[in-house]
Amino acid sequence: MNRRFLRAASGAALAFALSVGGPILAANPASAAGSVTVTGAGSTWSQIAVDQWRADVATQLGLHVNYSGVGSSAGRQFYLISQVDFAVSEIPFLPDEVAKLRASGRSWQYFPIVAGGTALMYNLKDSAGRQVRDLRLSASTMAGIFTGRITNWADPAITADYGHALPSRTIIPVVRSDGSGTSAQFSAYIARMASGDWSKFAAQQGIAATSTSNYPQFGNAVASKGSDGVANFVAGGSTGLGAIGYVETGYAVQRGFPVAAVKNASGHYTLPSSTNVATALTKATLNGDRTQNLEGVYFNSAANAYPVSSYSYMITPTAGLSADKGNVIGKFMLYFACAGQQKASVLGYSPLPPNLVKVVFDSVRALPGAPPVPALTPANCANPTLTGSLGAGANSVPAGSSAAASGSGSGAGAAGTTGAAGAAAGAGGAAPGAAGMAAGSDTGVAGGSGGYAALKPTSLTVATGAGSGPSLAALLLVIAVVAPSCAVLIARRGLPRFLRFGR
């Protein structure tokens, strides 16, 4: 059996899985004839935003963009074997993957698609049975929880961060079971900020001392597939009490669960609002290949900077792609870099600033069959940052999350905190139990303007189920991996012998 047959079988299996899975959004029938279908796979960290954008371009532009959130690692693998037209990942190709790309002659380019905060979503109740919504954690405490050094919510390190003792309860850390860019970004942060804990843990687990896409399941930890899997476990009524997991903020927004305020380099505890993420990322730099360097983000001394902030990348070819597909991908890119960013904040992300929109525009020009790229002006590009705003929801946080240290949902504005009970107004978060994006301010010190003008209300439509579908990821991987092997056995043995195989 030759490789061409195996490649064809793998491609057919993946195409089938992507065509039957959800959420796969089709264009209006009236406009469907004018667009080829492009297919992508990868990050679940970005999936809520990607699903929203492809729903928008389907209805507004008649573009067919299929996407499956299978995790960054799987997305890069599918790109490597040319079974998707684009991938989305929080981390670039690894050295062995780059070697394979070069050996095969496959081209690639990186460019940012959306910014966001990796949040610690938790499910915790106080001694009176009320949902805790004002948890505060330092990098050292986070590292202790996610390396097994800290195993109980009454641990003195948590008490020191939070400001008072929590009831004794076993901590259930929830990590990803699949190769994940979210795991890579989260572990990179704690490896840099709590190197002692991480180095010991990495040596015990046999993983890299810098970061890992494949987070080990350790001690009391539970491993769940995809961001949806992590978020669903934490939010689960029967499983989640005492649990804490790392996800992109939008997944906590969807489920109406709080996220922890994280201690930044200035000693303030901040929440992953769009404003705080944008502030932190003013210290991010781009490498020559457009990948990100987050060292400055981790150590950003701005009072309201959220330190676990980053970008996600799209990966596309610059050659070897049909002009029709290049045109569709290019139009999709122009949409999400401009008008699509209006929805970033309300979905739990932060919109790309103008300098990164320019990177996307440059990347569009590198595509075969690229559509015309307009001048980067507010008249041509509806990205809110071009007019000095972060769009609707920029100062909102999930489910009344608070950075105050004085009890759930408090608006006391305690010293040394920013966010829902910020040092300026102490407005506080929404009342406990509020679902979705809280009404409470998370603006940081001095109003938390971050250099942006006052926000202007925007009417937004969010796609139902954006970011959902962990069962699709499993189905896709099973079909794409198992089906080619079955095809090989059938070809070698014949169908009758294949059906008797293993009896």
pLDDT at 65: 97
**Distance from the first to the final alpha carbon of the chain:** 24
- For every one of its 503 residues, what pLDDT tens digit does the chain have, with 9 covering 90 and above? 444 444 444 444 454 444 433 333 333 333 343 579 999 999 999 999 999 999 999 999 999 999 999 999 999 999 999 999 999 999 999 999 999 999 999 999 999 999 999 999 999 999 999 999 999 999 999 999 999 999 999 999 999 999 999 999 999 999 999 999 999 999 999 999 999 999 999 999 999 999 999 999 999 999 999 999 999 999 998 889 999 999 999 999 999 999 999 999 999 999 999 999 999 999 999 899 999 999 999 999 999 999 999 999 999 999 999 999 999 999 999 999 999 999 999 999 999 999 999 999 999 999 999 999 999 999 999 999 999 889 887 777 776 677 765 433 333 333 333 333 232 222 222 222 222 333 333 333 222 322 222 222 222 333 434 444 443 443 444 355 445 544 544 454 454 444 443 33
**What is d(CA 243, CA 53) in angstroms, rounded to the nearest whole number?**
31
In angstroms, the CA 120 to CA 261 distance is 8
- List, by residue range, all CATH 3.40.190.10 domains of the chain: 3-115+309-391+463-475, 117-304+393-447
Residues 6+ positions from 453 with CB-CB distance below 8 Å: 387, 388, 389
State which H helix or E strand residue 69 sits in: strand 64-69
Which residues are CB-contacts of 1 (< 8 A; sequence separation ≥ 6)?
Answer: 488, 491, 492
pLDDT reported for residue 399 = 64
> What is the distance between the alpha carbons of residues 264 and 164, in angstroms, rounded to a whole number?
20
> Helix, strand, or coil here: 152?
strand
pLDDT at residue 372, rounded to an integer: 97
- Lookup result for tokens 């001690």: 219
Which residue reads 């990868």 in tokens? 42
Q: What are phi and psi of 121, to 5 degrees?
A: -85, 135
Spatial separation of the C-alpha atoms in residues 212 and 161, rounded to whole Å? 26
pLDDT for res 485: 44
Evaluate whether 183 touches 190 at the Cβ level (below 8 Å).
Answer: no
Amino acid in the structure at residue 139: A
For residue range 47-103, list pLDDT tens digits in order. Answer: 999 999 999 999 999 999 999 999 999 999 999 999 999 999 999 999 999 999 999
* Mutual angle of helices 470-493 and 72-80, in 10-degree steps: 40
**pTM for this model (two decimals):** 0.76
CA dist list (Å): 92 to 72, 88, 109: 9, 9, 10
Strands 86-89 and 37-42, sheet pairing: parallel
Q: What is the pLDDT of residue 465?
A: 43
Beta strand 172-176 with 109-122 is unpaired
CB 63 within 8 A of CB 57: yes
Please tell me the CATH superfamily of domain 3-115+309-391+463-475, with its number: Periplasmic binding protein-like II (3.40.190.10)
Q: Which fold has domain 117-304+393-447?
A: D-Maltodextrin-Binding Protein; domain 2 (3.40.190)
Closest to 228 measured CA to CA, from 158, 163, 177: 177
- Phi, psi dihedrals of residue 39, rounded to the nearest 5°: -125, 135
> In this predicted structure, what is the pLDDT of residue 395?
76
* pLDDT for 400: 65
Contacts of 393 (CB under 8 A, 6+ apart): 274, 345, 346, 437
CB 398 within 8 A of CB 437: yes
Amino acid at site 323 = A
Are 139 and 262 a contacting pair, CB within 8 Å? yes
In contact, 442 and 397? CB cutoff 8 Å = yes
What angle, 0 to 180 degrees and rounded to 10, lies between the N-to-C axes of helices 470-493 and 3-20? 150
- Up-side HSE of residue 440: CA atoms within 13 Å toward CB? 37
Place of tokens 């061409």: 4
What own/partner pairs with CB < 8 Å and gap ≥ 24 does 370-375 have? 370/326, 370/327, 370/330, 371/327, 371/330, 371/331, 371/334, 373/330, 373/334, 374/334
Tell which residue, 304, 313, 152, has the closest CA to residue 242: 152
Rg (CA), the chain: 23
Place of tokens 């505890």: 269
pLDDT at 239: 86
pLDDT of residue 394: 75
CA angle 74, 78, 80 (to 5 degrees): 115
Hey, what are 304's tokens? 């309201």
Residue 181: both structure tokens together: 């860019």
